[in-house]
Structure 1
Amino acid sequence: MPSLKSLNARQKRLFLKAVEPPLALAHLASRLLTLDLLRDHSLPEPGPIRILIVRLDTIGDVLLSEPAIAALRDRYPQARIDLVASRWGHELLAGNPAVDGFVEYEGPWHAAWRGRKVRWGQELRRMLAVLQRLRRTRYDLAVELRGDFRDIVFLALTKAKAKVGNSHRGGGFLLHYDARADLTCHRVDFALAIARVAGAAMPARPPRLYLTEGERRRAEDLLPPDKEYIAVHLGAGFPSKRLPISTFAAVGRRLCEKETHRRLVIVGGTEDRDLADEFAKLSGLPVVDLAGRVSLRETAAVLERCRLFIGNDSAPMHLAAAVGTPVVAVFGPSEPANYRPYGVPHRIVETSLPCRPCDHVHCIQSDYLCMTGISADEIVGAAEELLALAGAMAGRPSGSTQ
């Protein structure tokens, strides 16, 4: 019997459909025994209420939820709004006026799916401690923005008065208000649809980062204004989303060998260090290598100074879009309609294969053809097109540093 980790998205949905009815009956029995059905679970009116937002997954997903969080602040300007997210999510949204407080917690089920080793006993104790803290706050409203059965279970255990989410992956019986958002829409719009069920009415907008002057000065020190900088991110959340480094190296050579005014900037975390070293060896180009050497927010400030970003579907791709930098995004197993760069000029480079999108961590065909089948020519063509567009919008040809 295959493990849950090896199942694709469709198989997981079928599994949840099978287990959800008995769980729903057990939950109904619990509500009857505790008289919860008799309690008022209506949405609160604007005022000095307490709101909890749950976003337990990746950096990029937290960022794509920022417009929904802002929309909830717009609806409830006097509320105290707390966000439960990973430490990276907290760092990312530091200084955001929509969030008053942070509770650090990342769903271990998401980490396990990405291949990280999880100590489940330790994680269970940690989760119970976090839930105890959240229950003491007695939230008037709790909103889960991913639409994930496991995250909805976490939401339900907070004992918030009114619980809002999206049950497309199951868990609707645990919610008081179910958004049932369109699964084909972008994840920014998906989260906004949930926020609207919670009373928000703000129109859609791209995610925002609130960078400090100190972070921008640090980026300026790293990237003096004498070059045209092109940011490159070589990594991704899991192997099936990574373009071969040899292809990235070929792209870099094509873009920079004869254009001496251009300089590549390698961004990413400490997990991308080996990839950066391999790129330097294969490309032979002088680069500004910042992978694992600056903070997440400093990375965003660096991306803000770049003329273009090239990379896989990943958090840095969404960071680049959030600071207004045009993006060439390479997509493999994930669906561009859900995760494309939002609100900036961009080009999607992808292959047309019957097995995509699949959302598998490892390729079930074993050849990663959706990534290995992408050529350097396709990426360079998209990059040059966006560089020309950026130059025209700035009123100067691509490559001018004046």
Structure 2
Amino acid sequence: MKVDSEKVKKVAVVGLSCLGDMLLASAALWNLRNFLPRAYFVVWVGPGGKAAVKDDPLWDEVRIYDKAGKYGGIRGRLRFIRELRDGGFDLIIDLRSTLVPLFSGCRYTPLWGLREFFLPKRIHEAERNLYAVSTLGVPILRRNLHFHVRKEDRERVSQVLKDVLQGRTFVMMNPGSRNPKKRLPVKLCAEVGKKLAEEHRALIGVIGYSEEERRDAQEVLEGLKPHCLDLSGPLALSLVGAYMERASLFVTGDTAAMHLASALGVPTVGVFGPSKPDRYGPWGNQHRVVLAPVPCAPCNDRGCVMGDDFRCLELVESQEVYGACAELLSQL
């Protein structure tokens, strides 16, 4: 199905509930928007993914698709289909790969899942999305992930770092994750951060959003004093992005923050255990992946053969992670 851009005045994008997945779709969505510059875009997105798009001037309207609220159950789905049919949309992109487009009343109703059916299973998620949008006749002009950082957040970060950097290399670190199986060991992060501070005069900014992530961040910060900056807490994603833009390096596990760093062009060391770096790793060329040294990794956390406690990340050596960091820093 090829889309005639002259016939598309209004577009519905049905996004995903996960922040990381929305960021992985951002390259495809940027190219779609560039292909349809005069169309009116309405983006529905789950509560967990809204931060990826809510401040972005690319989108004319952002609405929340809440499966636990008005769109829950059969009645909620029917309500959503009615809204689509009443909305006068010409094109619908459903990133969830559902059959909803068939009932939307749109002129163009591509099924996202079918478009990637013949792709290799090990292809990166960003690549899958780019391929799917290209089958609509959308030219792929850039392959970078995309995220909009607000001007006021950049100004705020400039003021903070002006007082604390003092010529040092700024490195950011994310030890935590909403998924306990993907959290980096505190000891690993502290050792890597300390080595970066000693060898590269680095100031380590440590992030952590949720309560559990903040606890991990605080433990890492304790081991890094005085070479650290506490960035833990529920910061707006744009503010985190503004700090990332100023960083020379980002160290993280498999998290949404990793994809944010990729979108902002920050060299990243991703430490992986159960999840698959070839499908979910940092997108781009200026990154490094450290994989847990066990034969079962990656397993995509479907069941642990090491006693069901996913200890693989505890076996990662800090020297290996530091080596990847030093390699990236040497290329700056």
CA distance in 2 between counterparts of 1:312 and 1:190 reads 22
TM-score by length of 2: 0.86
| Distance 1:213-1:367 versus aligned 2 partners, 3 A rule | same
Pairing of 1:227-242 with structure 2 (within 5 A): 227-242=168-183
1:308 matched to 2:239? The reply is no
Letter matched to residue 128 of structure 2: F
TM-score by length of 1: 0.72
Match of 1:342 among 273, 279, 283: 283
How much has 1:196 moved relative to structure 2?
1.5
| Distance 1:352-1:43 versus aligned 2 partners, 3 A rule | same
Check whether the contact 2:148–2:238 (CA below 8 A) recurs between aligned residues. Answer: no
Quote the residue 1:298 is aligned against: 239
How much has 1:128 moved relative to structure 2?
5.2
Check whether the contact 1:208–1:322 (CA below 8 A) recurs between aligned residues. Answer: yes
| Distance 1:98-1:195 versus aligned 2 partners, 3 A rule | farther
1:164 matched to 2:125? The reply is no
Letter matched to residue 140 of structure 2: M
Judge which range, 95-104 or 60-69, deviates more. 95-104
CA distance in 2 between counterparts of 1:273 and 1:328 reads 21
Tell me the secondary structure at the aligned position of residue 164 of structure 1: coil
Quote the residue 1:100 is aligned against: 60
Can you list the C-alpha shifts for 1:64-110, whole angstroms capped at 9, x where unaligned?
A: 2112112222332332222111345433224545422212125x5xx
CA distance in 2 between counterparts of 1:372 and 1:260 reads 25
Check whether the contact 2:19–2:50 (CA below 8 A) recurs between aligned residues. Answer: no
Letter matched to residue 238 of structure 2: R
1:265 matched to 2:178? The reply is no
Judge which range, 129-138 or 232-241, deviates more. 129-138
Check whether the contact 2:10–2:41 (CA below 8 A) recurs between aligned residues. Answer: yes
Check whether the contact 1:52–1:139 (CA below 8 A) recurs between aligned residues. Answer: yes
Quote the residue 2:38 is aligned against: 78
Letter matched to residue 266 of structure 1: V
Check whether the contact 2:274–2:310 (CA below 8 A) recurs between aligned residues. Answer: no
| Distance 1:153-1:372 versus aligned 2 partners, 3 A rule | farther
Quote the residue 1:274 is aligned against: 215
CA distance in 1 between counterparts of 2:151 and 2:223 reads 36
Match of 1:69 among 7, 12, 29: 29
How much has 1:308 moved relative to structure 2?
0.7
Tell me the secondary structure at the aligned position of residue 371 of structure 1: helix
Quote the residue 2:310 is aligned against: 368
How much has 1:312 moved relative to structure 2?
0.5
Letter matched to residue 92 of structure 2: A
CA distance in 2 between counterparts of 1:231 and 1:153 reads 41
| Distance 1:97-1:260 versus aligned 2 partners, 3 A rule | closer
**Count of matched residue pairs:** 326
How much has 1:329 moved relative to structure 2?
0.6
Check whether the contact 1:248–1:376 (CA below 8 A) recurs between aligned residues. Answer: yes
CA distance in 1 between counterparts of 2:41 and 2:110 reads 15
Letter matched to residue 335 of structure 1: K
CA distance in 2 between counterparts of 1:156 and 1:370 reads 43
| Distance 1:70-1:311 versus aligned 2 partners, 3 A rule | same
Identity %: 28
- Unaligned runs of 5+ residues in structure 1 are 1-40, 109-118, 391-402
Judge which range, 45-54 or 290-299, deviates more. 45-54
Tell me the secondary structure at the aligned position of residue 288 of structure 1: strand
Structure whose CA Rg is larger? 1
Match of 2:92 among 131, 134, 142: 142
| Distance 1:157-1:325 versus aligned 2 partners, 3 A rule | same
1:54 matched to 2:54? The reply is no
